[in-house]
Amino acid sequence: MKNPLSLIIAALTKFLAGFFLLSLLLFLPAGTIHWPRAWLLIGILFLPMLAVGVVLFLKNPGLLQKRLDAKESRKTQSSLVRASGVMFLLGFIAAGLDFRFSWFPLPVGVSIAAAVLFLCGYAMYAEVLRENTYLARTIRVEDGQRVIDTGLYGVIRHPMYAATVLMFCSMPLVLGSGIAFVTFLVYPLILSKRIGNEEELLRRELAGYEEYTRKVKYRMIPYLW
């Protein structure tokens, strides 16, 4: 594991890079920084992110390091990560252009409701991090890893992915862009492919996972899928 100073530098570098990249993707197409809903999204995304990062650094620096490592070694998963990146790129640019030219703006009430939904997804995300210390961003099985089947994992098999669906699909609604929302609907499709590939690995390499899938039948949505 990295020493504490290196971990802080890596985390802050990634945090600031994400902040500036999202700002560019939103404000350049919008042609202005005077876009309140964009600042709302930036606030509800990066302030909780900073808080979670600080808590992880203090309580579980090993998990923080794993969350910073986003490089996939498996070809299928790497392709899906790239597809997600393209979706985010196109979606945020579309939102900026939508604001600039008022193609398909959504009411302010939609953005407020979506912000609440986003924060609910973030709370779910934080709870999953608390429950599962094996939760790397890349698909792998660690030495000594065991199946987590309590808490949210006792209800659905992939609560982290469920949280990201809530968060990511609410983002374009926070921005008030109907066009961007349509773009972000690609994410659940990408995710379903990622989950299928991930579960093949877990069934093969993680002891007890096959039994877990029989105990917890639903992947992300109780009684549906």
pLDDT value of residue 111: 97
Question: Considering the entire predicted model, what is its pTM?
Answer: 0.88
Q: Which domains does the chain have, with CATH numbers?
A: 4-215 (1.20.120.1630)
Predicted local confidence at residue 2, as pLDDT: 64
- What are 152-166's pLDDT values in tens digits? 999 999 999 999 999
What is the chain's pLDDT, residue by residue, as a tens digit (225 residues)?
568 888 889 889 999 999 999 999 999 999 999 999 999 999 999 999 999 889 888 888 887 887 777 665 566 667 778 888 999 999 999 999 999 999 999 999 999 999 999 999 999 988 888 887 766 655 566 667 788 888 899 999 999 999 999 999 999 999 999 999 999 999 998 888 888 888 888 888 888 889 989 999 999 888 888
State residue 140's pLDDT score.
Answer: 63
CA distance 168 to 157: 19
148: left (phi over 0), alpha (psi -120 to 50) or beta: beta
What secondary structure letter does DSSP report for 33? S
Would you tell me how many other CB atoms lie within 10 Å of the CB of residue 90? Answer: 15
Phi, psi values for residue 177, rounded to 5°: -115, 110
Phi, psi (rounded to 5 degrees) for 145: -70, 140
